[in-house]
Amino acid sequence: MIRDSNHNFGFISIFFHWLSAGLTLFLFGLGVYLTSYGYYSSDYLQYAHLHYALGIILFGVVSIRLLWRLSSKTPKTLVNSTPAKIGISLSKFLLYVFLFAILISGYFICTAEGQSIDVFGLFQIPSIKLLETSQLNIAGLTHKYVAWGLFGLVIVHAGAALIHHFFIRDRTLVRMLKPSKKTPE
């Protein structure tokens, strides 16, 4: 099954979910490594440019994923309580808001002095605005603290999926692991 149905996620949604999750976690780890690595280390710029390029790729992936989600059916949640449904909707919304805040602030950090971002030699993303020091500091703090907030939200998100799988014993996690044509019994 390629597209989502009322009961299951399709291959496209599953692919974009795990691709964006993997890139996000890798970029978070690389970002933490870079902040503790030392700016004047010999290969700092190599890792920093990898972080920048993958951030641009992630922006594209998350944008496509959001457009897919807005234009596709969304499987019904497997919980019945209104507070749980609100919590699920809010957490999904915040995942997107945090991701875009991190990606946009990262873009402004990288292009603050007018330089473009090279994406693996394939294309360049130009700077659209020079930042003053105070603006750059705001972008840096936003990038840092929202990234940690996203990391916490991802832990809650993954924990909830595991609780659904091992304790509630519903198909919440399974339907994000493999597409299925079957409807629940």
| pLDDT tens digits along 5-15 | 888 999 999 99
Return all residues near 67 (Cβ < 8 A) that are at least 6 apart.
none
Tokens 């936003």 correspond to 142
Whether 49 is in a domain gets the answer yes
- As a whole number of angstroms, the distance between CA 58 and CA 178 comes to 22
What pLDDT sits at residue 55? 98
Residue 2 is assigned to a structural domain of this protein = no
61-84 pLDDT tens trace: 999 999 999 999 888 888 889 999
Q: What is the mean pLDDT of residues 139-164?
A: 96
What's the CA gap between 182 and 185, in Å, rounded?
9
Binned at pLDDT 50, 70 and 90, residue 36 comes out as: confident
Give the mean pLDDT of 81-93: 93
Whether 55 maps to a domain, the answer reads yes
Q: Is residue 5 part of a domain?
A: no
In a domain, 4, yes or no: no
Give domain status of residue 181, yes or no.
Answer: no
Q: How many domains, in total, are found in the chain?
A: 1
The domain of 75 spans 11-176
Q: Is 175's pLDDT higher than 80?
A: yes
* Mean per-residue pLDDT over the chain, rounded: 93
For residue 130, tell me if it sits in a domain.
yes
Closest CA to 99 of 141, 48, 44, 60: 60
Residue % of the chain over a pLDDT of 90? 77
